[in-house]
Structure 1
Amino acid sequence: MRIVTASEMYAIDRDTIERIGMSEESLMENAGQAVARALLERLHPSMRIAVLAGTGNNGGDGFVVARMLKSYGYCTDVWLIPPKEKVKGAAKKALDIYENAGYEVKLYSGNEQTFVEQIAHYDVIVDALLGIGVQGAVRSPYKEIIDMVNRTNASVYAIDVPSGIPADGGAADTAVRADVTITIQCPKLSAYTFPTADYYGELVVVDIGIPPLSVARNAEFRSTWEEADVVRTLPKRQKSSHKGTYGKALVIGGSKRMTGAVTFTAKAALRSGAGLLTMAIPEAIYSVVANRIPEAMYYPCSSHDGYFSGEIDLSHLDVDAIAVGPGIGRTEGTKNVVKTVLSHDVPVVLDADALFFWNEYAPFVRKRSAATIVTPHPGEMARMLGVSIREVENDRFGVAKRLAMEYGIYVVLKGPYTIVTTPDGMQYVNTTGNPALAKGGSGDVLTGMIVAFLMQHRSIQEAISNAVWIHGKAADFLVEKGHSQLDVLATDVIEEIPNVLFHLTTTKSAEVF
Structure 2
Amino acid sequence: MYVVTGDEMHQIDRYTMNEIGLTEVALMESAGQAFCRQLEPTLKKQDKIIILIGSGNNGGDGFVIGRILKEDYNVDVWVIPPEHKIRGAALAHMKIYEKSGYDWFSYAKQREETIELNLNNYTIVIDSLLGTGVQGTPRSPYRELITKMNETNGTIISVDIPSGIPAHEGEVRPIGVKAHETYTFQSAKMSAFCFPTANYYGKISVLPIGIPNKAFTQVNAARKVISEDTVKNTLAKRMPDAHKGSVGKGLIIGGAKEMVGAPVLTTEASLRSGVGLVTLAVPDVIHPIVSQKVTEALFLPLATKNGQICANEFISNISLNRFDCIAIGPGLGRKERYKFYPIFSSFHGPIIIDADGLYHLSKELREWRNGRPEGPTIITPHPGEMAMLTGLSIQEVEKQRFKVSKEFAMKFQMYVVLKGPYTIVTTPSGEQWVNTTGNASLAKGGSGDVLTGMIVAFLLQHHDTVSAITNAVYIHGKAADELVKTYDIFSVTATDLINELPVVIRSIRYR
Helix, strand or coil: the match of 2:42? coil
Structure 1 residues 346 and 70: CA distance shift in structure 2, 3 A: same
In the TM superposition, what is the alpha-carbon distance from 1:337 to its structure 2 partner? 5.7
1:91 lines up with 2:105 in the alignment:
no
Counterpart in 2 of 1:175?
176
Helix, strand or coil: the match of 2:157? strand
In the TM superposition, what is the alpha-carbon distance from 1:69 to its structure 2 partner? 0.9
Q: Which moved more, 1:343-352 or 1:460-469?
A: 343-352
Cα deviations by residue, 1:377-413 (Å, 9 ceiling, x for unpaired): 1111111011111221121111111111111111101
**What are the within-5 Å matches in structure 2 for residues 160-239 of structure 1?**
160-169=160-169, 170-239=171-240
Helix, strand or coil: the match of 2:43? coil
**What are the within-5 Å matches in structure 2 for residues 254-273 of structure 1?**
254-273=255-274
TM-score between both structures, scaled by the size of structure 2: 0.96
Moved >3 Å (runs of 4+) = 112-117, 336-339
RMSD over aligned Cα atoms: 1.5
Q: Is the 8 A contact 1:269 1:449 kept in 2?
A: yes
Counterpart in 2 of 1:2?
2
In the TM superposition, what is the alpha-carbon distance from 1:229 to its structure 2 partner? 0.4
CA distance in 1 between partners of 2:211 and 2:177 (Å): 27
- Residue in structure 1 matching 2:448, options 428, 440, 443: 443
**Given residue 488 of structure 1, which amino acid in structure 2 is its aligned partner?**
V
**Given residue 188 of structure 1, which amino acid in structure 2 is its aligned partner?**
K
Q: Is the 8 A contact 1:342 1:348 kept in 2?
A: no
Helix, strand or coil: the match of 1:229? helix
Structure 1 residues 114 and 52: CA distance shift in structure 2, 3 A: farther
Counterpart in 2 of 1:493?
497
In the TM superposition, what is the alpha-carbon distance from 1:358 to its structure 2 partner? 2.5
Counterpart in 2 of 1:427?
432
Cα deviations by residue, 1:233-266 (Å, 9 ceiling, x for unpaired): 0122111111112101111111111111111100
Structure 1 residues 227 and 316: CA distance shift in structure 2, 3 A: closer
In the TM superposition, what is the alpha-carbon distance from 1:45 to its structure 2 partner? 2.3
CA distance in 2 between partners of 1:367 and 1:118 (Å): 62
Cα deviations by residue, 1:343-395 (Å, 9 ceiling, x for unpaired): 43221000011011324333443243211000011111111011111221121
In the TM superposition, what is the alpha-carbon distance from 1:28 to its structure 2 partner? 0.7
Counterpart in 2 of 1:324?
328
Q: Is the 8 A contact 1:4 1:219 kept in 2?
A: no
1:140 lines up with 2:145 in the alignment:
no
The gaps in structure 2 that reach 5 residues or longer are none
In the TM superposition, what is the alpha-carbon distance from 1:120 to its structure 2 partner? 1.0
CA distance in 2 between partners of 1:117 and 1:55 (Å): 18
Counterpart in 1 of 2:382?
377
CA distance in 2 between partners of 1:337 and 1:285 (Å): 22
Counterpart in 2 of 1:81?
80
Cα deviations by residue, 1:398-440 (Å, 9 ceiling, x for unpaired): 1111111111111101111111111111111112111111111
In the TM superposition, what is the alpha-carbon distance from 1:133 to its structure 2 partner? 1.1
Counterpart in 2 of 1:506?
510
**What are the within-5 Å matches in structure 2 for residues 446-457 of structure 1?**
446-457=451-462
Structure 1 residues 115 and 259: CA distance shift in structure 2, 3 A: farther
The gaps in structure 1 that reach 5 residues or longer are 508-513
CA distance in 2 between partners of 1:99 and 1:436 (Å): 51
In the TM superposition, what is the alpha-carbon distance from 1:219 to its structure 2 partner? 3.7
**Given residue 50 of structure 2, which amino acid in structure 1 is its aligned partner?**
A
Q: Which moved more, 1:460-469 or 1:356-365?
A: 356-365
CA distance in 1 between partners of 2:386 and 2:283 (Å): 27
Helix, strand or coil: the match of 1:336? coil
Q: Is the 8 A contact 1:273 1:452 kept in 2?
A: yes
Q: Is the 8 A contact 2:255 2:282 kept in 1?
A: yes
Helix, strand or coil: the match of 1:423? coil
Q: Is the 8 A contact 1:247 1:452 kept in 2?
A: yes
TM-score between both structures, scaled by the size of structure 1: 0.96
Q: Is the 8 A contact 1:442 1:490 kept in 2?
A: yes
Q: Is the 8 A contact 1:338 1:354 kept in 2?
A: no
Structure 1 residues 221 and 317: CA distance shift in structure 2, 3 A: closer
Helix, strand or coil: the match of 2:286? helix
Q: Is the 8 A contact 2:345 2:374 kept in 1?
A: no
Q: Is the 8 A contact 2:346 2:374 kept in 1?
A: no
Q: Is the 8 A contact 1:178 1:200 kept in 2?
A: yes
Helix, strand or coil: the match of 1:49? strand
CA distance in 1 between partners of 2:362 and 2:479 (Å): 34
**Given residue 17 of structure 1, which amino acid in structure 2 is its aligned partner?**
M
CA distance in 2 between partners of 1:361 and 1:131 (Å): 45
Structure 1 residues 172 and 66: CA distance shift in structure 2, 3 A: farther
Helix, strand or coil: the match of 1:131? coil
Q: Is the 8 A contact 2:254 2:328 kept in 1?
A: yes
Q: Which moved more, 1:116-125 or 1:270-279?
A: 116-125
Helix, strand or coil: the match of 1:110? helix
Structure 1 residues 203 and 114: CA distance shift in structure 2, 3 A: farther
CA distance in 2 between partners of 1:5 and 1:337 (Å): 37
Cα deviations by residue, 1:434-491 (Å, 9 ceiling, x for unpaired): 11111111000000000110000010000000000000000000012x1121111010
In the TM superposition, what is the alpha-carbon distance from 1:226 to its structure 2 partner? 0.6
**Given residue 245 of structure 1, which amino acid in structure 2 is its aligned partner?**
S
Q: Which moved more, 1:387-396 or 1:315-324?
A: 315-324
CA distance in 1 between partners of 2:320 and 2:491 (Å): 42
Structure 1 residues 261 and 76: CA distance shift in structure 2, 3 A: same
Counterpart in 2 of 1:314?
318
Q: Is the 8 A contact 2:125 2:154 kept in 1?
A: yes
1:109 lines up with 2:80 in the alignment:
no
1:355 lines up with 2:345 in the alignment:
no
